[in-house]
């Protein structure tokens, strides 16, 4: 779908382009236009421009058009005529449908969760992380099927000894190390 917002920019919703669980990982890949809401400055003639206020308007890797990401199928959206707030009807993959609310004051860049979440529920089961300080590795397993889903990550330098985990207010996971570094745990993109 596409529609103009009260800010006079054109918004365009694009599904993740896959079937059943986002097999290509587009929902969390900001180098792709898929699985996103795009925000464009469209004139009477010529190609579209990137609004300078887009969250990644000058980024060297992330697509400049991306306003929000993490959507499986943002089928319809609308803007409240009174407030300018945006409501996005996002078709779910399996057990949930989702309506996302983006206030008029949004500066973009929101991760709306897909493929990590489906609504407020973890998609495909939860993942549990644990670490070994001395051997400098982190492992994770998913429920169900613990043994078949175990993965070991050994990306720490020889001087990096992971010593704890933490979460922020949004539930994003962090790992601290003995050397004082803090690492953000993010999904692997293809």
> Domain spans of the chain?
1-120, 127-184
Higher pLDDT, 186 or 43: 43
Instruction: Find all residues with CB under 8 Å of 116, minimum gap 6, and list them.
Output: 27, 28, 70, 122, 123, 187
- pLDDT classification of 54: cutoffs 50, 70, 90: very high
The pLDDT value given to residue 62: 95
For the chain, give the mean pLDDT.
Answer: 85
- pLDDT classification of 183: cutoffs 50, 70, 90: confident
pTM of the model as a whole: 0.68
Cα 92 to Cα 155: distance, rounded to the nearest angstrom: 34
3-state SS class at 86 = strand
The pLDDT value given to residue 152: 74
- pLDDT classification of 144: cutoffs 50, 70, 90: low
> Does the pLDDT value for residue 147 go beyond 60?
no
* Least reliable range by pLDDT among 56-65, 148-157, 177-186: 148-157
């Amino acid at each position: 779908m596409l529609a103009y917002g009260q800010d006079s920019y054109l918004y365009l919703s694009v599904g993740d382009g896959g079937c059943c669980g986002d097999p290509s990982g587009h929902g969390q890949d900001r180098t792709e236009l898929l699985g996103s809401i795009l925000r464009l400055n469209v004139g009477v003639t010529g190609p579209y421009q990137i609004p300078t206020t887009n969250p990644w308007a000058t980024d060297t890797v992330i697509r400049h058009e991306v306003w929000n990401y993490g959507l499986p199928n943002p089928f319809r959206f609308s803007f409240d005529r009174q407030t300018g707030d945006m409501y996005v009807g996002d078709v779910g993959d399996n057990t949930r449908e989702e309506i996302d609310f983006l206030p008029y004051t949004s500066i973009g860049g929101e991760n709306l969760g897909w493929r990590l979440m489906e609504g407020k529920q973890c998609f495909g089961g939860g993942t549990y992380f644990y670490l070994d300080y001395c051997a400098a590795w982190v492992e994770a397993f998913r429920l169900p099927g613990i043994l078949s889903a175990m993965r070991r990550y050994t990306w720490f330098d020889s001087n990096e000894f992971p010593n704890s985990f933490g979460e922020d207010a949004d539930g994003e996971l962090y790992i601290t190390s003995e050397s004082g570094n803090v690492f953000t745990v993010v999904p692997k993109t293809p």
